[in-house]
Amino acid sequence: MNNKFKVSLYIRVSTDKQAKEGDSLEEQEAELKKFCEYRGFQIHNIYIERGKSAGTTNRPEYQKMLKDIENSEINAIVIKKLDRLSRSILDFEQLLLKLNEKKVEFIAIKENFDTTTAIGKALVRLVMVFAQLEREQTSERVTDIMAYRASQGLFNGGIPNYGYTNANKELIPYPKEKQIVELIFDQFLTTKSTTQTAKILNGTGSRYRTGKPWGKFQVQRILQNPIYKGMTFWKEKLYQGIHQPIISEKRFEEVQRIFKERNHIRSNSKTNALLQRLLFCGYCESIMTPTYGINKQKVKYYYYQCTNTKTKKKCKRKYIPFQEIETKIIELLLSLSSQAHFTKIENSVLKHNQSQDQQIQKNQTEITSLETKIQTTKSKKDRYLDSLILGNFKASEREKINTRIEEMELEEKQTKALLYKQQFKLNQHQQEKINLTALKQTLVEFKADHETLSHEQTREYLIKNIEKIICFLDKLAIKLKAVPWLIEFDTK
């Protein structure tokens, strides 16, 4: 080779880390120029790629270099290391084909590869095979680690879901957004409408993270995301998370049930149904939807129909007239405030509250135990850290100590997760205690005011206070939102 042997230098760095580790653009350029001076090469072009990955050939300077090759303007490409040029066997093979076609050589000074020889070409391909194998194994290890972290309930990074923030690689509730998430679930359980829930949020002046008003699809995504009941999601699998849930599992499942029921609902605003979305068949558990027929006199008559009968399935309770069931439900609601009925409700409420108090006591005991365990684990970890700092250990001994510290950190996180759950259960049991005075006041006020309420006001009362009404042939059952059991009435 002589002074007329023209070469192009290709220099690339993808991260600041590489620059700090002695592989900067300036360092590469100086070393390549020194090599060319020693070999007597004439430098035709220097292509410098800043902040570009070698995982793709879609790089501006790389493409310019390919034009030099295509136009046969150079005799060789000179790089510092193979990975500066490419990290893909397929891409590198295509480049080699192009180099062979145009009779352009390839030199990597660190690996001492020179494609002017057959052994040089073979060695280059061999090194690329092992380089790709290492990357794939690294990728597999990262995937395995991420899967393990998810199985342990840990956060795998990324932008935290609305309602949470990331602190020390852990999800923790973000107070301001947490309140909005709770409001979303509260309002949806009341209105059973994502559109109405979004309107209520926007009416309070609340805005999504982007600063834009809430939409029904954003609301629905939050309502159906299991992260809010304490779960994590990785590769289409759900795991129990260690983060603090914002919504109880019971409330979350109630919301999912509403979405499931809505798939069967075909609303008909012309019917003006008082019990729409509230009435269920007692035999097949399907919702009973309002509809109408037309008699011989061309007059419409309205009734609730079991949705199972619409799909040609058999059911004992096929339909029931509007007036018959709506009148009966109003009568039963009025009877709940009578002394005889309310005494039974009162006794059940007292038993329920007593059971909740017992659970609260258990939760408080468990919380105290977990707090002690966390403190004990933390003290042990601190002692290990102190010994690591002050002791004179061999490398293998230090590795064992570090492993034990990591195990204790994971144990501490898992114990904290159990503590969060116990605190959440404590709060849940406290919330599930029934306010007997408020319940009685609600029933008495309806009895006093029902005759003056409009049809729409009556429906608002029913939606606010009733979760569902179950209709059998010989009995009715009403599930009030204030109590966690059915109140049954014999209708024979």
Q: Which residues are catalytic?
A: 14
User: Which residue stretches of 160-193 are H helix?
Assistant: 175-191
CA-CA distance, 481 to 464, in Å (whole number)? 8
Instruction: Output b/e per residue, 449-469; b: 16+ Cβ within 10 A.
Output: eeeeeeeeebbebbbebbbbb
Question: How far, in Å, are 261, 455, 474 from residue 322 at the CA level?
Answer: 20, 13, 17
Name residue, tokens 């009030």. 480
CA-CA distance, 77 to 65, in Å (whole number)? 9
Of residues 475, 473, 449, 476, the one with CA closest to residue 460: 449
Provide the CA 369 distance to its chain's centre, in angstroms. 31
Of residues 59, 77, 79, 60, the one with CA closest to residue 68: 77
Q: Which two tokens stand for residue 314?
A: 């058999």
What would the DSSP string read from start to end of 4-68?
Answer: T-EEEEEEEE--HHHHHTT--HHHHHHHHHHHHHHHTPEEEEEEEEES--TT-S--HHHHHHHHH
Of residues 40, 149, 473, 455, the one with CA closest to residue 274: 455
Q: Kindly state the DSSP code that residue 453 receives in the 8-state scheme.
A: -
What would the DSSP string read from start to end of 307-364?
Answer: HHHHTT---S--EEEHHHHHHHHHHHHHHTTSHHHHHHHHHHHHHHHHHHHHHHHHHH
Q: Which own/partner pairs from 119-126 qualify as long-range (CB within 8 Å, at least 24 positions apart)? A: 121/96, 124/82, 124/92, 124/96, 125/89, 125/92, 125/93, 125/96
Give, to the nearest 10 degrees, the angle between helix 339-390 and helix 395-432.
170
Contacts of 359 (CB under 8 A, 6+ apart): 425, 429
3-state SS of 204-217 is CCCCCCCCCCCCHH
- Sequence letter at residue 101: E
User: Which residue stretches of 246-291 are H helix?
Assistant: 249-262
End-to-end C-alpha distance for the chain, whole angstroms: 109
Contacts of 52 (CB under 8 A, 6+ apart): 12, 14, 59, 60, 61, 62
Name residue, tokens 């049954």. 488
- Sequence letter at residue 240: Q
